[in-house]
Structure 1
Amino acid sequence: MNASAAARSAGRVLAGAEGDPGPLEQIFGFDHYGELLALAQSSLLAGALLGLVGGLAGVFVIMRDLPFAVHGISELSFAGASVALFLGLNIVAGSIAGSLLAAGAIGLLGVRARDRNSVIGIIMPFGLGLGVLFLSLYKGRAANKFGILTGQIIAVATPQTAWLLGTSAVVLAALAVMWRPLTFASADPEVAAARGVPVRALSTAFMLVLGLAVALCVQIVGALLVLSLLVTPAAAAARVTASPVRLPLLSVVFALVSMEGGILLALGSTVPISPFVTTISFLIYLGCRLVGGRRISRGARSPAYPERAHT
């Protein structure tokens, strides 16, 4: 009995309970939580990997102003997963293929920001339309269709975990190799190019790495809400620190808390994981925004920052 079957069984037990359940009781039920937790070890491992990948890649997404690109890549990742589902192929492989195709197109055709946004604007509706087409043609379980859009981490199978492990290792290794030059190129591309840093090659390489990261995150929170892992944690961290060390650390911590917290809540729930991940991530961002706002306000009142006092 896998985790999703156990979750359905727990839902039936809750539905058959005496009395009229309240709104929270209709969503949450922790009667069989211990059994589900024992079945979700691979899901927790996958969530940790995705938190690490999303937190680190998200730092450069924010530095390079690429949230729109993440959304565009996720649409073609969704299309690739839908095609694979229709053809009976590996969904993760299809998602990765779609992501790399989109990332390569954006990286090669969208050198300037204006061109990049135009390319993304073209890719997004095409990917979404293609994905919807193949999902409508698919005659299998409706849960499989729903999972591509909203995530299905609770039912991660062993082959899927192997794909996630392998792809995560590639992403993390690539980020480790390009971290310093990519940070330089992201902060000041003109000076980096003058110093001999291959700015354009790094940009294309990072887009491909970002494509892999998006494909991984689509497997967890679905194509619709992938921004909650690749944008929100890093954006939250950027509100409270600009340190090149603390920023990626906080981004990873926030992504891990969102992922693992979302999984633990989804285990005792009848709804998909994505609402929990996105809500936790959003609350973290709100908290960081409040903290960052208070620091700026205190700095504006401090004599040490006279230029801010007049703004």
Structure 2
Amino acid sequence: MLDDFFTRALVAGIGLALVAGPLGCFVVWRRMAYFGDTMAHSALLGVALAFLLQLELTAGVFIVAGIASLALVLLQRKGTLSTDALLGILSHSTLALGLVMIAFMSWIRIDLMGFLFGDILAVSRFDIAVIYAGGAVVLAVLAWLWRPLFAATVNIEIAEAEGLKPERAEFVFMLLMAAMIAIAMKIVGILLITSLLIIPAAAGRRFASTPETMAISASLCGVAAVAGGLTASLHFDTPSGPSIVVAALLIFLVSVGSFPVLRRVMGRSHGA
């Protein structure tokens, strides 16, 4: 079954969507979209480090994203700059450092477009194994972390009063984001990872009444975006990663009733 490139891409994309949905919910709830961008931009520095030290790419990206998360926590404790300013510094500096390091490594041919925008159609069986094994670990840790992390999202003072250790939960969540970005880089690329985290979660909110059902809805919206985007990419010969994000955007627009036709149909059904 996995001999066909389209089937491998679909299986890999579904695995990624199932992990991105619950993580993306916390990104939306905690208004951490800029943090997601920072982690994604740091991935290019991780790629350069992996080539320089001859590491596996996923490991290099995770190491750098984890270091960036730790740096953010330490700088936040000093309180010298606001969080958005710190994220801006980390985001642009890691991206620039990655580009400069790659420019110096003239003996290596690196496909920057592939890393920036991904190539899900080129995933291998090993990539699929990494996605599902790593994704299972991420989801298991997130399930263990769900209560303290959600409590800290709602009110960090109450979480501290209940002894839920919200700072530890937040740091572990950052590491989970780093792992997610390392896993997703080959599929949708560095520049589109945050979109896959945020858009399905924002769409899933419209179909959910509880945080748990929103996480499930976000995953299902992501799966639908992967299937629709890959099908459109195959049919129209468009880039696969951006096509998945466009499909996610269409699902979001439908979820908020942005199409006049949808609003009229919904109005008639309520009238009936």
TM-score normalised by structure 2 residue count: 0.84
Matched, 1:169 2:133: no
CA apart distance, 1:268: 4.6
Distance 1:212 1:171 in 2: 8
Matches within 5 A, 1:65-144: 65-85=31-51, 88-110=54-76, 115-136=82-103, 137-138=105-106, 140=108, 144=111
Are 2:207 and 2:217, in contact at CA under 8 Å, matched by a contact in 1? no
1:283 aligns to 2:250 (yes or no): yes
Corresponding residue of 1:153: 120
Determine if the alignment matches structure 1 residue 38 to structure 2 residue 4.
Answer: yes
**2 CA distance for matches of 1:56 and 1:240?**
14
Aligned residue type for 2:27: V
Aligned to 1:200: 167
Distance 1:228 1:90, change over 3 A: same
SS of residue matched to 1:284: helix
* Secondary structure in structure 1 of the residue aligned to 2:196: helix
Distance 1:277 1:199 in 2: 34
Distance 1:177 1:133 in 2: 39
- The 1:97/1:261 distance shift into structure 2, 3 A limit, reads farther
- Residue of structure 2 aligned with 1:57, choices 2, 15, 23: 23
Unaligned runs of 5+ in 2: 268-272
Q: Give the superposed CA RMSD.
A: 2.8
Once the two structures are superposed, the pairs formed by residues 196-235 of structure 1 within 5 Å of their partners are 196-235=163-202
Aligned partners of 1:78 and 1:98 also within 8 Å: no
Question: Aligned with 1:290: secondary structure?
Answer: coil
Deviations along 1:23-82, whole A, 9 cap, x unmatched? xxxxxxxxxxxx998233332222111101110100111111111000001111122123
Q: Which sections of structure 1, spanning at least 5 residues, go unmatched?
A: 1-34, 299-311
Name the TM-score, length of structure 1 as normaliser.
0.74
> What letter is aligned with 1:216?
I
**Equivalent residue for 1:14?**
none
* Aligned CA distance change for structure 1 residues 271 and 83 (closer, same or farther; 3 Å): farther
8 Å CA contact retained: 1:154, 1:267? no
Distance in structure 2 (CA, Å) of the matches to 1:263 and 1:147: 16
Would the aligned equivalents of 2:185 and 2:193 in 1 still touch at CA under 8 Å?
yes
In the TM superposition, residue 101 of structure 1 has moved relative to its aligned partner by: 1.7
Cα shift at 1:224:
0.8
Post-superposition Cα deviations, 1:81-112, rounded to whole Å, max 9, x if no partner, equal: 23324655422222222222222222343368
Contact 1:76/1:127 (CA < 8 Å) preserved in 2? yes
Q: 1:180 to 1:99 in 2, by over 3 A?
A: same
- Give SS of 1:231's match: helix
Alignment of 1:284-303 (within 5 A): 284-290=251-257
CA contact (8 A) 1:37 1:267 kept: no
Q: Secondary structure at the match of 1:40?
A: helix
Q: How far did 1:229 drift?
A: 1.1
Q: Is the 8 A contact 2:72 2:86 kept in 1?
A: yes
3-state secondary structure, aligned to 1:110: helix
Q: Which residue matches 2:145? A: 178
Number of matched pairs: 259
Quote how far apart the aligned CAs of 1:140 are. Answer: 5.0
**Counterpart of 2:164 in 1: which secondary structure?**
coil
Task: State the alpha-carbon separation in 1 of the partners of residues 6 and 107 from structure 2.
Answer: 28
**Is the CA contact 1:135–1:145 (under 8 Å) kept in the aligned structure 2?**
no
Deviations 1:225-271 (A, max 9, x none): 11221111111222454422321111111111112322333345544
Deviation by residue 1:279-302 (Cα, 9 ceiling, x = unmatched) = 1111111122227xx7xxx9xxxx
